[in-house]
Every structure is written in C-alpha cells, then in structure tokens.
Structure 1
C-alpha cells in the first residue's frame, strides 16, 4: 500500500500548486540534476539515490543507513532560498546554507521524525553553534501535503530567518561566524541523513527550489 501511495503522489504533476515567488531564480529544472552534484567527501555517505520523478527531486537511503548530500554547483553569499517539501514521516535530513563540499554548513533541520524538528538551525560539523529550535513549526506544518520553506542567511556574522507556509518561525543571529575557515559564502545543499533512524523505503521530496540573491 505504501509503495502505491508513493507512486500516486509522485505521478501528480509537480507544477500542480507550485509557485515560485517573484524575484526568485529556479535552481531545479524539474527534469534532471543539472546545476547540482553529489558530494563524494561528506561524512553522511555517497548515496546515488537522488532522482527526479515526475518533476519531484527525491532522496532516500541506499543502501539502508547510507546517506549523502546534493549540492548546487554555484556558491552564494547573502541569499534567500525557497523550497517546497513533502517528506515521509520518519525521514531525517536538512537544507544546508553556505555549505562546503564536505557538508560543513549552517543547516536548516528537516528532521521529520519522532523527537525531531523542522525549520530550526543546527551547525553541521561547525564548532560553537548550538541547536536553535524553530518555535511553533508544528502549528503551521501540513502533514502529507506540500509545505513551503523560505530560509534567508545574511551577514558576515550570519543572521538566519526561516518562514514555513508564510509564517516566520525563526529569527536568529550567531554570536560569530562559525563557518569552516570563516567562509562568508558557500553552496546550497539538501541532505539525506545517514543512520538507521530513517524509515526504511522513506523519501524526502522537494520541488520548486529557487534562490534570491541579496546585497
């Protein structure tokens, strides 16, 4: 039954209900992984299971327990990223901001599983960054539907703001720039977390990924 439901969801046209906000430039063309690449050096793994199915970018563990990250080819400094997502319950992942090839980044958590959080900030392999949970994300999250997420990062000392389905759920400024090497720019990435907290045969799904560069 689960596999049938997954097929039914992915068979729907990806553009149905998707709308990139004005001023944003698409990062994902809905056909293939042009403009993106799989990291071969991050600690979560080198999973090849990033696929485009009916206009939706899907990520899963393959083999079970093995994760990985998919990075933009381009680097960005001050920007806002827009993404629509619909993960299966039990999937652990993230949206990386100013990432390097090894996946060191400011992460917007997409930990959609028991005890998890969506929309908060975590320093992925960054020293000195404490977890910043997003307040009230559960009240605006739409289960088993497409959700919109906007994440903005600006400044040499990073300020990160997050909106879910149009409602701001986080506004946080770091105490210093804790990015690897003090970097002020980096790639955007999506993550499939390694480990066996992940629901077997579960998928993260993304569509309408876009960016707006800021001064």
Structure 2
C-alpha cells in the first residue's frame, strides 16, 4: 500500500500471502426477499440435493502471485462458493483490482449476512449477457439493476478477444431499459467498453454509504452505476424491511458462481478462475 493511500485512511483487507481475515463458505441460496419464497423452491431444474452437494463442493480459494484466486472445487463441478470477510463493515470505500476469466460470473457482495446469501451484490458478470458494475439484490428482492449487458467479441476463429454490447436477438438474459431505470446513474455502454481492459487487471472502486446505502461503482476511474436503497422502487423490495434485515453493517464476500440451470457452462467455464488483488478499504 502506498503512503498516499495509508495517509488517506485506507487499510488492506488482504495481506497478499494467505487467507487471514477471510473464510471459505459454500454457495447457498435462500429466500428471494425477506419472508418470500425460497429460490430452490421456485427455480426450475435445480437438483433436489443441491444444498447438500453445494456443502460438499465449496469453491477453492488460493493465493497466487499475491492475488486471491477462486475456482470451482473440483474444477467443473458446477458448484460455487464465497470468500467472506471475517469482519463486518458499515460505510466504506473499497478499492481493488480484478481479473476474471471468460466466462467467469463473479461479484462482490456488500452488507452480506454471515448465515445466508442475503446482501447487495456488485456484479462482475464476465460472461455472455452479463453486466459489470451494476447490482443484484441477493435475497432482498432479486432486482437486477444494471446499465447495460455485455457479451464477447470474437475473432475470425470464434475465440473471445474482447467485450461488446450484448445483442438482444441472441441474448441469454435480455437487457431492458427498466433495469437501468432502477439506477440513480447508468453509464453508457460505450464508456465502459472504452475503459475495460480485456484479459488484464482492471480497477474497481465501490463507495457504500448509509443505513439504506447509496452505492456507487467505478471501473478504471469511470463511474459505471449508482443505486440508492433508500428510494429504490422494485417488485418485492421494501427499504425498511431490508434495512432491518441486513442491519447497518455486513460482510464483504467474493464469489465463485455455480453453473445454474439458466446458463450452465456459459456462466462459469470448467477451468475458469477469478482473481483479486490490492483490496484496500477506507471506513467512512
């Protein structure tokens, strides 16, 4: 950490050597909103023993070249997991660098409960019809608040070589203006594409402030999205209920996604990994 960041009040969340301060937990689902139906009860095609198998196959987290690396365990198992902070955080600014494989559906959970999947997720859906820098309400309404949708740009041999805007005609998860309308700010997709570095490290900055937090994201210095959980109007979302349920602070968690019935291997390639480094947090 540079002297400038230290003087600005930032502290490292990861020591660059081991998982001190973090715990590995399996992927889990829960209610779609506080008091609502269980995801596994209403989502089609999940195996009946999903919860048991997820417990047996948590993601594998290692430290490689000073970075946290998450993979499915074993590779291609189809089950995911989280690396969750031991400490809880309220208002903060988080800066980090990330490098996900393609396809690799990951994200950063904020205000996450330790005993369930509930919390606000900053999406890093680096896969077909994904979005980066927007939000998903894990168990707090299951809202999908994103400024755009993305897919891979292919070379003449069909290999992914970059990102482009998703095509509604071939989308697996179509973008709609209603998703962007859930945001206080939504960047044009062109600004994101100009900033994103394919197959390289990208910086992500997240600012989370308030008991019903307003959360803002930046990619490589470009503001991407902003959501206000105090004023958000979305189906099955109630600001007071969610604030009471999550509380004014919660854990930060990094995700390895499962291969759910909707997208299968398009969501997480069998040998994919997500990488995170230089995790720095300033309490506000």
TM-score between both structures, scaled by the size of structure 2: 0.64
* Equivalent position of 1:150 in the other structure: 205
**In the alignment, which residue of structure 2 is the partner of 1:187?**
251
Measure, in 1, the Cα distance between the counterparts of 2:277 and 2:117: 21
Q: C-alpha distance in 2, partners of 1:19/1:73? A: 26
| Equivalent of residue 37 in structure 1, options 19, 23, 27 | 23
CA shift, 1:80, in A, is 1.1
Structure-2 residue corresponding to 1:114: 128
- Unaligned residue ranges in structure 2 (runs of 5+): 30-50, 148-185, 232-238
Q: TM-score normalised to the size of structure 1?
A: 0.84
Aligned residue for 1:71? 84
8 Å contact from structure 2 (residues 131, 146) kept in 1: no
C-alpha distance in 2 between matches for 1:188 and 1:59? 15
Taking the TM superposition and a 5 Å limit, the aligned residue runs for 1:18-97 are 21=5, 22-40=8-26, 42-43=28-29, 45-46=54-55, 47-63=58-74, 64=76, 65-97=78-110
Distance 1:200 1:41, change over 3 A: closer
Deviation per residue, 1:176-211 (Å, 9 max, x gap): 253571411101110011113211101100000111
Taking only aligned residues, the RMSD between alpha carbons, in angstroms, comes to 2.3
Deviation of 1:124 (Å): 1.2
Please state whether the residue corresponding to 1:149 is helix, strand or coil. Answer: strand
Distance 1:48 1:40, change over 3 A: closer
Count of aligned residue pairs for this structure pair: 198
Distance across 2 between alignment mates of 1:145 and 1:20: 25
Residue 6 (structure 1) aligns with: none
Distance in 2 between residues matched to 1:86 and 1:80, nearest whole Å: 20
43-52 vs 142-151, greater mean Cα deviation? 43-52
1:105 aligns with 2:119: yes
**CA separation in 2, counterparts of 1:143 and 1:104?**
30
User: Unpaired runs of 5+ in structure 1?
Assistant: 1-14
Partner Cα separation in structure 1 for residue 195 and residue 243 of structure 2 = 30
Structure 2 CA distance, aligned partners of 1:131 and 1:71?
23
CA distance in 1, matches of 2:9, 2:282: 6
Deviation at 1:40, TM superposition (A): 4.7
**Is 1:203 the equivalent of 2:258?**
no
Secondary structure at the counterpart of residue 100 of structure 2: coil
Structure with greater proportional helix content: 2
Check whether the contact 1:94–1:190 (CA below 8 A) recurs between aligned residues: yes
2-side partners of 1:126 and 1:138: how far apart? Answer: 29
Q: Counterparts of 2:3 and 2:203 in 1: how far apart (Å)? A: 10
CA distance in 2, matches of 1:20, 1:84: 18
- Secondary structure at the aligned position of 1:202 is classed as coil
